[in-house]
Amino acid sequence: MNRTHHSLLLFFFAFVMSTGAAIGQKVNYSEIIKPFKNDPVFKNPKGAVKPGILQMPYITWAADGVTIHANGGERPNAGSKLGRAAGSPVKLERVDEFDKQLKAYIAGDSPFLRGTIGMINLAAEGLTAISPDLAPIVFMQLSWSTGADGFVAKGVNKLSDLKGKTVVVQRTGPHMDLVNVLLQDAGLTLADVTVKYVADITENPDNPVPGINDPAGAFRSDSTVDGAAAIYPDILTLTAGGTVGTGAEDSVKGAKPILTTRTASRVIADVYAVRSDWFAANPDRVKSIAKTLLEEQEIFRDYLDNVAKKKSADQAKLREFKQLSRPLAGIFLFDEAAVEDFVMWLGLDSELALFSGNEEFFGNEKSPVGFAAANQRIQSYYAAGGLISSQSLPTAAKFKWFESEAVPVPAVTVKPVFSSAQAVRAAAESSSAGELFTYTFGFPASMADLAWRDYPDVFNTIHEKVTRYGGAVVQLRGHADNMFHNFVRMKRSRGASTYERKVGGAFKKFPLPQVEEVANAANKLSYSRAFAVKRAYAQYLREHHGLSAQEMDLSRFDVKGMGVSDPKHSNPSSPQQRTENMRGELIIIGVESEIPLDFGMEDLR
Amino acid sequence: MKNLFPSLVFFAFTNCFLPNPTFAQSSDFAELDAEFASQTGTAYTIIFDDSGSMEGGKLSQAKQAFRWWLEKAEPDNAWCFLPMNRRSLDVDFVKNGESQVLKAVDKLRVGGMTPIVATLERAFRMIQKRRDSVTPYERHLLILLTDGHETKHPGGNDAVCDMVSKLRLEGVEVFGIGFHGQGDYLDGFATHFASANNRDELQRSLANVDAEVPLDIEFRISPEEEKAMAALPLGKEVRVSHGGAQGEDGYGLFSEEEDSRLGIVLVVVVGFVVLVFIAKRAVSP
């Protein structure tokens, strides 16, 4: 696995884990009260937001380092960029436990919630039930998780194998939605699996409750658990460095990484939300806070782009970046010298949303991974699982940065994940590649035409998956029915040069083609079918989403004609079976270890 | 078959010479069209017998046969030309290279032996290289114009037939074109065989074949044949290489990194040669 950047983080977490990972310790499972609005946290008394120093929670996440930098540290600092934007000093406080954040939010200690879009959706019903004043208004997206989180399991090759299994996940944490999405995309519901919850996302030495409180620990200690949503360093440990766990050195025998957010790069959206009453009273302050934080993100993005220039990077700028990142490494990794790990975490395991990402997330109503679509998806899934009793959609502040704030509009550029078609093919065929989802299209005999308008729902779903799994290869495989090929082979092997077929009620003789002619025609037909899916998707993007060719990213598509080598029925004996052989498949393939990284540890030294 | 597969259907073996409508896709996505075309054309390898035995009218007849044949060849395909003796006239695969091949054919003069096997082997290597570096999905047609007998390989004509069979097993369609009964030993071994003076037969050899048959066509097949079909192993997958995803003209490259690397190598090599030249001049009296 090409993830050397995790080494220090891994060391850190391994150190933490060594404090309490012994097999046999009791796992402290906790329950989620269904619906979640009945959780005791919502019984806390509501208070008005306190004046004076503004409390703002942050969590252990690299993108929050940008927020801390904008504030000149965690302490209140009226002269900092964030302090000036907020109109009062801002005290940043790390609050990884969402329940604690909710308590402070309800009580008025802080008007803000810092979570993922899944976490905000989970809490929205309970908060709104207390008072519409508490309804969360999501006002900015900080980032996407692009490698820091994932799912590990044993006895599972693809996600649909999770049916009937038991998985463990942090209660009310960012991974709840990750698990939901994976199950949903595998065609499963929460009822198809047993979900167990623990308090922490990883081993937490500050948790006063003795025993095991994290998913990795539970997976290790409880043999009834088949899979866990975990942070990447834990996944590495559980799977013996990203391969298959042996049972030794804290790994779980047979455990394999199923995927991380490097593949599912549009699932975990980190956001800030604000209380409705405070937003109504302070719209300009909220907008100013968001603008300042996004401006700070643009500065960090510029630094990261410089790092990605590798050998041609501006060295003075690189030194400056490392210098300003040192305190952030100290805060998050407890060691200022771990600045390179912090930069890797920020630039590779997460993707800053920036102004453009916020415009897209909140403004593009057609985006399958945008705010509106995410809320609908999450709420319907929570409702089906009994976590909410009725739909209570969070709203968005919907700031228009490019229109009203004169933020420069960035040029439309689609950065390909892979450098070439060959690299895509090599990744798809690597030993670590794993098929996640498959969609099949049927074709009439000898035909390879496909119009997206004939399958609008299918293409909507495909677009959703292709976008959500932004690090995956999308392989298109075309197939031809092998019946005629078999027939010609059989006839030729018996020395025939003609065959008979019925014309006008009587059999007539026709020249028999050669085997290689039929095979070549099948190869071309199968490739044409695979390519027809790519073409139809491009047409869908242009006609349904209004994207120009420059805005489309088809670089992850690998088109493959399978000829007659992989029929669904090897000896088709009915028109039904032959029809099933005439197909095109769209397969989303996770290629975790093959995804090229923008930069490596060596580029930071 | 009629009894056991009442609605079994078969196919249509098209005798028309028009491009197969199945693949005649076009759209206003120029880049996608180019990608599709780069992967799915036909690659022609023309082997011309320019041995001494082709002296007299035979060479002219072969040239005429080639022109007839060319009339029905589809456009936008790749062309390769391999004379058996005058290798200076070789043309490696060129997209739309008909005129280049035609020019080389016109320059052809007779003289030398008939190394058919060696030329077929050379052709096979070039086809493999193209499959690996450009695309594995092209249809490969090899046209062998010869009046006769292998004169270099110890295996003689049997070795020619063996090599033709090998090519066909690798998915290369081999068209033999003979002269007044000479070269006829290829008939039955090649995918198709035609006489150089039979225009219709030559042009018919370019017909497209369908891989699938409509579901409502009924074929005659005995229960025994049906049993034999069921026992067949699966067909081979088209040979796919990582390089083969690239297509013609490097389609599929998303960065210029490799080009610039090649440029650096060229600069270094040229620089080195210049330095050696200067150094030699400097030490020479």
pLDDT for B22 beyond 50: no
Q: What is the mean pLDDT of residues A335-359?
A: 96
Residue spans of the domains in chain A: they are 33-142+267-404, 149-260, 421-594
State the residue range of the domain holding B151: 21-204
Cβ–Cβ gap B191/A539 under 8 Å: no
Q: Report the distance separating Cα A270 and Cα A146, nearest Å.
A: 11
Q: pLDDT per residue over A325-345, tens digit each?
A: 999 999 999 999 999 999 999
**Single residue among B174, B204, B234 that ends a domain in this structure:** B204
Cβ–Cβ gap B237/A570 under 8 Å: no
Among candidates A525, A562, A563 on the partner chain, residue whose Cβ is nearest the Cβ of B22 = A525
- Asked if B200 and B270 sit in the same domain, the reply is no
pLDDT for B112 beyond 60: yes
Among candidates B36, B169, B209 on the partner chain, residue whose Cβ is nearest the Cβ of A517 = B209
- Asked if B48 and B145 sit in the same domain, the reply is yes
Which pLDDT score is estimated for A386? 93
Q: pLDDT per residue over B179-193, tens digit each?
A: 766 767 888 889 988
**A364: Cβ contacts below 8 Å, ≥ 6 apart:** A370
SS3 A510: strand
pLDDT for A11 beyond 50: no
**Single residue among B180, B204, B228 that ends a domain in this structure:** B204
Which pLDDT score is estimated for A337? 95
In B, minimum Cα distance to A428 occurs at: B242
> Which of B209, B212, B230 has its CA nearest to residue B1?
B230
Which pLDDT score is estimated for B266? 52
In B, minimum Cα distance to A559 occurs at: B245
- Distance in Å, alpha carbon of A509 to nearest chain B alpha carbon: 10
pLDDT for A13 beyond 60: no
Cβ–Cβ gap A521/B210 under 8 Å: yes
Q: Report the distance separating Cα A71 and Cα A293, nearest Å.
A: 9
A143, containing H or E segment: strand A136-145
- Asked if B188 and B267 sit in the same domain, the reply is no
- Asked if B266 and B181 sit in the same domain, the reply is no
Cβ–Cβ gap A519/B235 under 8 Å: yes
Which pLDDT score is estimated for B69? 77
**Could you tell me the CA-to-CA distances from B205 to A289, A514, B98 in Å, in that order?**
74, 12, 18
A303 vs B240, residue with greater confidence = A303
Among candidates A507, A514, A571 on the partner chain, residue whose Cβ is nearest the Cβ of B220 = A507
Tell me if A547 sits within 8 A of A521, measured CB to CB. no
Q: Does B96 fall in a domain? A: yes
Cis ω before A511 (30° cut-off from 0): no
Q: What is the mean pLDDT of residues A212-216?
A: 97
Q: Which of A472-476, A505-509, B213-217 has the lowest mean pLDDT?
A: B213-217
Q: Does B185 fall in a domain? A: yes
Which pLDDT score is estimated for A160? 87
Q: Does B215 fall in a domain? A: no
Cβ–Cβ gap B9/A445 under 8 Å: yes
Name the pLDDT band for B259 (thresholds 50, 70, 90): very low
pLDDT for B4 beyond 80: no
pLDDT for B249 beyond 60: no
Which pLDDT score is estimated for B66? 83
E strand map for A155-221:
166-170, 194-198
Cβ–Cβ gap A422/B242 under 8 Å: yes
Quick one: CATH architecture of A33-142+267-404? 3-Layer(aba) Sandwich (3.40)
Which pLDDT score is estimated for A323? 97
Q: What is the mean pLDDT of residues B40-49?
A: 92
Cβ–Cβ gap A535/B27 under 8 Å: yes
List of chain A residues whose C-beta atoms are within 8 Å of the C-beta of residue B169 = 516
Q: Report the distance separating Cα A536 and Cα A243, nearest Å.
A: 37
Cβ–Cβ gap A525/B212 under 8 Å: yes
Q: Report the distance separating Cα A504 and Cα A487, nearest Å.
A: 22
Cβ–Cβ gap B215/A579 under 8 Å: yes
- Distance in Å, alpha carbon of A504 to nearest chain B alpha carbon: 11
List of chain A residues whose C-beta atoms are within 8 Å of the C-beta of residue B242 = 422, 425-426, 429
In A, minimum Cα distance to B232 occurs at: A486
A157 vs B4, residue with greater confidence = A157
Q: Report the distance separating Cα A425 and Cα A419, nearest Å.
A: 11
CATH code of B165's domain: 3.40.50.410
B232 touches chain A (CB under 8 A): yes
Return mean pLDDT, chain B: 77
- Asked if B116 and B43 sit in the same domain, the reply is yes
In B, minimum Cα distance to A415 occurs at: B254
CA A295 to chain centre: 25
Cβ–Cβ gap B237/A510 under 8 Å: no
pLDDT for B25 beyond 80: no
Tell me if B191 sits within 8 A of B158, measured CB to CB. no
Dihedral (Cα; B52, B154, B195, B166), 10-degree rounding: -140
Name the pLDDT band for B284 (thresholds 50, 70, 90): low
Q: What is the mean pLDDT of residues A181-203?
A: 92
Task: State yes or no: ipTM above 0.90.
Answer: no
- Of all residues in chain B, the percent with pLDDT exceeding 70 is 70
A229, containing H or E segment: strand A227-231
SS3 A274: strand
Residue of B131, B236, B238, B246 best to disrupt the A interface, most CBs of A under 10 A: B238
Cβ–Cβ gap B254/A501 under 8 Å: no
Q: pLDDT per residue over B133-144, tens digit each?
A: 888 899 999 999
Q: Which of A221-230, A545-554, B255-264 has the lowest mean pLDDT?
A: B255-264
In A, minimum Cα distance to B216 occurs at: A575
Q: Does B12 fall in a domain? A: no
Number of domains comprising chain B: 2
Check for a shared fold between A33-142+267-404 and A421-594: no
Query: Whole-prediction pTM value?
Result: 0.83
Q: For A114, list phi and psi in degrees, rounded to 5.
A: -120, 110
pLDDT for A174 beyond 50: yes
Q: What is the mean pLDDT of residues B42-68?
A: 87
Cβ–Cβ gap B210/A420 under 8 Å: no
pLDDT for A446 beyond 90: yes
Name the pLDDT band for A8 (thresholds 50, 70, 90): very low
CB pairs under 8 A between A and B: 219
- Asked if B41 and B150 sit in the same domain, the reply is yes
- Asked if B47 and B179 sit in the same domain, the reply is yes
Name the pLDDT band for B70 (thresholds 50, 70, 90): confident
Residues 68-127 of B with CB under 8 A from A: none
Cβ–Cβ gap A575/B7 under 8 Å: yes
Among candidates B171, B219, B221 on the partner chain, residue whose Cβ is nearest the Cβ of A520 = B171
**Single residue among B204, B221, B251 that ends a domain in this structure:** B204
Report the CATH number of the A149-260 domain: 3.40.190.10
Cβ–Cβ gap A524/B234 under 8 Å: no
B234 touches chain A (CB under 8 A): yes
Q: What is the mean pLDDT of residues B111-127?
A: 95
pLDDT for A18 beyond 90: no
Return mean pLDDT, chain A: 92
- Asked if B184 and B271 sit in the same domain, the reply is no
- Of all residues in chain A, the percent with pLDDT exceeding 90 is 81
Rg (CA), chain B: 23
B171 touches chain A (CB under 8 A): yes
Residues 18-77 of B with CB under 8 A from A: 22-23, 25, 27, 29, 31-32, 35-36, 39-40
- Output the 3-class SS for A473-502: EEEEEEECCCHHHHHHHHHHHCCCCEEEEE
B214, containing H or E segment: none
- Asked if B147 and B280 sit in the same domain, the reply is no
Tell me if B205 sits within 8 A of A385, measured CB to CB. no
A339-347 and A7-17 helices, crossing angle to 10°: 100
Report the CATH number of the A421-594 domain: 3.30.1330.60
Q: For A511, list phi and psi in degrees, rounded to 5.
A: -65, 140
In B, minimum Cα distance to A485 occurs at: B211
Q: Does B216 fall in a domain? A: no
In B, minimum Cα distance to A542 occurs at: B29
pLDDT for A519 beyond 60: yes
